[in-house]
Structure 1
Amino acid sequence: MSVMTPTAPAPITPASTISLETATVRNWKPPIGLGVFAVIAMLLFTIGARSGVTIFRLSTDSDLIQLPALSADVTVVTIVVTVLLFALAAFSAWKTFQAKKTPLWLTVVFAALFLIAFLTWAAAGATIPVPGLLVGAVGLSAPLIFGALGGVISERVGIVNVAIEGQLLAGAFASAVVASITRQPVAGLLAAIVAGVLVSFVLAAFSIKYFVDQVIVGVVLNVLVIGLTSFLFTQLLSPNEALLNSPPRFPRLPIPILGEIPILGPVLFRQTIIIYIMYVAVAAVWFALFKTKWGLRLRAVGEHPQAADTVGINVNRTRFWNVALAGGIAGLGGAYFTLDSAGAFNKEMTAGAGFIALAAVIFGRWDPIRATLAALLFGFASNLQSVLSIVGSPVPSQFMLMLPYLVTIFAVAGLVGQVRAPAASGKAYIKS
């Protein structure tokens, strides 16, 4: 009979003596992207070299404080900036080699230098009105910002809002008709909100109550609104233009003192009431989303509806009313087209702005402030093609027309990379 002798337990190694090998993660996308753009700049400014002087006018004739215009020698600026771009790309590569992230300031400085060099090269021998360029960018960004804010709220609560285009177009149509009949632009503004909410009601009803795929409902709504407004424009607005399609526009309301700040004054503080509402909307949505009980419940429903339901939040009701709120905000963006920018309704006048706003939501990582900055970038790209066409840029007009959409594609596909949407976004909630 054999006797089993117990074996002594293995000695426990103190935690302080355990060496953990950490994997070194290096993200080479930023330095590669910056290097590619540096090479593009070198080829553009070398093969298509231009000479002369570009003048950047910093003040308008009505400014109280007149800033002197800046003159930039095209050859000097393009050479110096190209060298700096390669230096920044090399610095980014060095930081990546050390397994560190490329700083945000480096990307911002790189983009600013590239833009300055491109403007100097493209407008050689001409004058660029900087305040006019920026004012136009803010104007073209306004409907995108309203649409992006609506998209952020809707997706944060769990509903993919592909119908932003339809909400913008419905808001533009309703504001034009109501403001034309009442001769009150404020009434048109309220009508735009109601129109956006009505489109959102349809989106919410089919997505939340009947569990229809949210993307399909959004696409169908866009087609429906485009077809309906086009039909009504042809049958009603065009034959009765004086009565139904001649809305009064909001006047510009300069803010005293702030409107006299050089550059920023004409751009930000000599605007119409819709732009000022936009400023308030951006701040209000950000504060409400991240600093209030309402925002906490909204984000909880978009991230984990089961957990939100467990603590007593009515998930579907929260989704329904917040999607309606999102539609109302997007409707305000539609009112900008008719009550501020164009002054009348035209068929399909939004021209895909809703889809660019949706791209701004993704580019901004579902954050109101970042989405606003993304919308401003797209608006700036849109206005840039107009300004460069006026000053006689050598860049083909077809490419300039593509510029806003190229920026959109590059921003979403190249700059954002992998991002995580709200976990329950696009998923219908069925209470178990």
Structure 2
Amino acid sequence: MTHDLVYNILSLGVPFSVALLLASLGEMFNQRAGVFNLGCEGIMCMGAFLGFLPAFFLKTGPLAPYGIVLGFAVAAAAGVVLGLLFALVTVTFRAEQGIAGIGLQMLGWGVAGTLFRHFIGGVTGVEGLAAWSIPGLSRIPFLGGILFNHNPMVYVAFLMVPASWYVLFKTPWGLKVRAAGTEPRAADSMGINVNRVRYQALMLGGAMAGLGGAYLSLCQAKMFADDLVAGRGFIAVALVYFGRWSPLGVLGGALLFSLAQSLQLAIQVAGIKFPYEFAVMLPYVLVILVLSLARKARMRGPTHLGVPFNREMRY
């Protein structure tokens, strides 16, 4: 019983972490560039709906295999557009980032829900992205089913962790991103266009948040509903603080939250006598603890996080 329970928790926790991991990695680039995007939730909502739409309309017929691929592409494109919108408001117009983020969250959630009721009308499912077992590795006892028996987006998301680390710490563009969030005036004096870098980071972050939302509707739930994202966008922002603005730290935070989520599901399925309300609450308690520690973590983060850059003003 204990072996099966542990296996179920771990095997559910890995795919549950993907949407958070993608959104958190994108938010990490935003914050490294000096912008925190509380609108991540709204971008994920739009990505979840717009990613679901092509898969829903193309779920039958010869183009059915391309519906899911098109869905992910549309979700990423929508994320880029919303990232550009947020950049226009916060980078160009220098609006307060927290308020603008809440506005973007409300915009994405409201538009996605309205379009869903207009084009689809009710909860319905799609086939979704099927699991792909990695030959050989999936046969490893215990670990094979936990790590190597998932849909391709799970592998893509985990490969994004080393890719993000390489881009952030080993490329000229990554250096520009870190400079834009830490010492934007020094970066500007070296010829770096700080606002352009922040635009680029927000576009990348938006695309990844859109992919995270599409993962929820196409791979995890295989349906769309108004409450599908369920606060994961805000959790993604908190996980960046928890992970100390590092891809590996973000991965650890995403796994921690997803394992807590899978634990409460496993407890209910196993019929263990434990108040399920506390089990459901557990993942969000972890987020509160993360936010409570964020003040100390903030000292290690980008020094100009949340501060609009204006080369004509002294700080």
Q: TM-score normalised by the shorter chain: which range applies? A: over 0.9
Task: Find the aligned partners of 1:314 and 1:323 in 2 and give their Cα distance.
Answer: 14
Q: Give yes or no for contact 2:241–2:297 (8 Å, CA) kept in 1.
A: no
Q: Deviations over 1:340-397 (max 9, x none)?
A: 1111111121000111111111111111110111011001111111111122233212
Residue 95 of structure 2 is aligned to residue 212 of structure 1? yes
2:231 corresponds in structure 1 to 352
1:292 corresponds in structure 2 to 171
Opposite residue 365 of structure 1, the aligned amino acid is R
TM-score by length of 2: 0.92
How many positions carry a matched residue from both structures? 304
Q: Deviations over 1:244-284 (max 9, x none)?
A: x6544111111111111222211111111111110221111
2:311 corresponds in structure 1 to 431
Task: Find the aligned partners of 2:82 and 2:52 in 1 and give their Cα distance.
Answer: 17
1:158 corresponds in structure 2 to 34
Q: Give yes or no for contact 1:253–1:272 (8 Å, CA) kept in 2.
A: yes
Q: Give yes or no for contact 1:172–1:336 (8 Å, CA) kept in 2.
A: yes
Structure 2: 5+ residue stretches without partners: 59-63
Q: How does 1:39-54 map to 2 (within 5 A)?
A: none
Task: Find the aligned partners of 1:358 and 1:393 in 2 and give their Cα distance.
Answer: 33
Q: Deviations over 1:103-125 (max 9, x none)?
A: xxxxxxxxxxxxxxxxxxxxxxx
Residue 283 of structure 2 is aligned to residue 407 of structure 1? no
Higher helix proportion (structure 1 or 2): 2
Task: Find the aligned partners of 2:101 and 2:17 in 1 and give their Cα distance.
Answer: 22
Task: Find the aligned partners of 1:314 and 1:411 in 2 and give their Cα distance.
Answer: 33
Aligned partner of residue 2 in structure 2, secondary structure: strand
Structure 1: 5+ residue stretches without partners: 1-54, 58-127
Q: Which has the higher contact order (CA 8 A, sep 6+)?
A: 2
Q: Higher mean Cα deviation, 225-234 or 412-421?
A: 412-421
TM-score by length of 1: 0.68
2:9 corresponds in structure 1 to 133
Q: Deviations over 1:183-232 (max 9, x none)?
A: 32111110110111111111111001111111111101111111111112
Q: How does 1:410-421 map to 2 (within 5 A)?
A: 410-414=289-293, 417-420=296-299, 421=301
Q: How does 1:319-334 map to 2 (within 5 A)?
A: 319-334=198-213
| TM-aligned CA deviation for residue 415 of structure 1 | 8.7
Task: Find the aligned partners of 1:302 and 1:347 in 2 and give their Cα distance.
Answer: 34
2:249 corresponds in structure 1 to 370
Aligned partner of residue 266 in structure 2, secondary structure: helix
Task: Find the aligned partners of 1:168 and 1:247 in 2 and give their Cα distance.
Answer: 18
Task: Find the aligned partners of 1:371 and 1:418 in 2 and give their Cα distance.
Answer: 13
User: Residues 414 and 208 of structure 1: is their aligned pair in 2 closer, same or farther, counting only changes over 3 Å?
Assistant: closer
| TM-aligned CA deviation for residue 408 of structure 1 | 1.5
Task: Find the aligned partners of 1:349 and 1:219 in 2 and give their Cα distance.
Answer: 18
- Percent of pairs identical after alignment? 35
Residue 220 of structure 2 is aligned to residue 274 of structure 1? no
Q: Give yes or no for contact 1:176–1:246 (8 Å, CA) kept in 2.
A: no
Q: Give yes or no for contact 2:242–2:297 (8 Å, CA) kept in 1.
A: no
Aligned partner of residue 422 in structure 1, secondary structure: coil
| TM-aligned CA deviation for residue 418 of structure 1 | 4.3
2:143 corresponds in structure 1 to 264
Larger CA Rg, structure 1 vs 2:
1
2:61 corresponds in structure 1 to none
Aligned partner of residue 129 in structure 1, secondary structure: helix
2:25 corresponds in structure 1 to 149
| TM-aligned CA deviation for residue 399 of structure 1 | 1.1
